[in-house]
């Protein structure tokens, strides 16, 4: 029970990596606020946690809106008493070069992947500072450390997440708030499959290409969740400002 007595907020908690992390955190003793725009999947995750005896609530929110982020945090504090861990996991991707992508899509990627982190952290950090403890985990990507084809907005957003994480770690270390980010490689989620459709590629072929890395396969959401658990728990008590790569060796030869 590595998170016994703690409360975690997980954005994008209704599916993929967010869902796997919510379930894992709950099994490790945390009360979990599952935040998502998909009411059905968000409620389902919260119910699944309750079914095995865990504590969870679902909060519908558009994390690109400051008011929604404020409401999520306020309700979490009212229900569970505080926030010990925040996992800024919500994210989207639009596969396009800078000459292909629309201004609307560029802005949407930046809003979900970067601006939401600003909004959520702005609400959570004062609570953590008052308690003199906390762990913030931001979802970056291997493409926040190295570029990728036809993913300019996504790469830009995830690079911003990496450096925002480091800046926040410097600012809030004196308050005993640790801030780290995860940099996964291709992981078997609905978002990865959507990339094949965006690029007009056959899904089977696309997923086969995604598995081309030293370990010879894609990641599983549960494997990324385990990395998030490490960063949320006291096992990483001296880790802050880190970009933890979890990609099966995909970036090992990138220099």
Determine phi and psi for 27, rounding to 5 degrees. -65, -25
Annotated active-site residue in 154, 169, 233, 243: 154
Which tokens belong to 31? 């009360």
Q: Of 79, 90, 77, nearest to 22 (Cα)?
A: 90
Q: Of 134, 136, 139, nearest to 114 (Cα)?
A: 139
154 assigned to active site: yes
Which tokens belong to 17? 């990596």
Question: From CA 246, how far away is CA 183, in angstroms rounded?
Answer: 6
Q: Of 181, 188, 177, nearest to 160 (Cα)?
A: 181
| Residues taking part in catalysis | 154
């Amino acid at each position: 029970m590595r998170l016994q007595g703690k409360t975690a907020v997980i954005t994008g908690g209704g599916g993929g990596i967010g869902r796997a992390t919510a379930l894992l955190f709950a099994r490790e003793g945390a009360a979990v606020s599952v935040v998502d725009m998909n009411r059905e999947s968000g409620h389902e995750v919260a119910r699944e946690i309750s079914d095995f005896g865990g504590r969870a609530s679902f909060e519908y929110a558009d994390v690109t809106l400051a008011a929604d982020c404020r409401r999520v945090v306020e309700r979490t504090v009212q229900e569970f008493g505080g926030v010990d861990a925040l996992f800024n996991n919500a994210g989207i991707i639009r596969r396009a070069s800078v000459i292909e992508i629309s201004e609307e899509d560029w802005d949407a990627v930046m809003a979900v992947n970067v601006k939401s982190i600003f909004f959520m952290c702005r609400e959570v950090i004062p609570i953590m500072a008052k308690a003199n403890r906390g762990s913030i985990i931001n979802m970056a990507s291997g493409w926040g450390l190295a570029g990728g084809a036809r993913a300019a907005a996504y790469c830009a957003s995830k690079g911003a997440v990496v450096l925002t994480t480091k800046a926040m770690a410097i600012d809030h270390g004196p308050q005993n708030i640790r801030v780290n980010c995860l940099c996964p490689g291709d992981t078997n989620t609905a978002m990865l499959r959507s990339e094949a459709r965006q690029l007009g590629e056959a899904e089977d072929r696309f997923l086969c290409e995604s598995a081309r890395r030293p370990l010879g396969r894609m990641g599983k959401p549960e494997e990324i969740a385990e990395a998030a658990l490490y960063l949320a728990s006291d096992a990483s008590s001296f880790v802050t400002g880190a970009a933890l790569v979890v990609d099966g060796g995909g970036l090992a030869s990138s220099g």
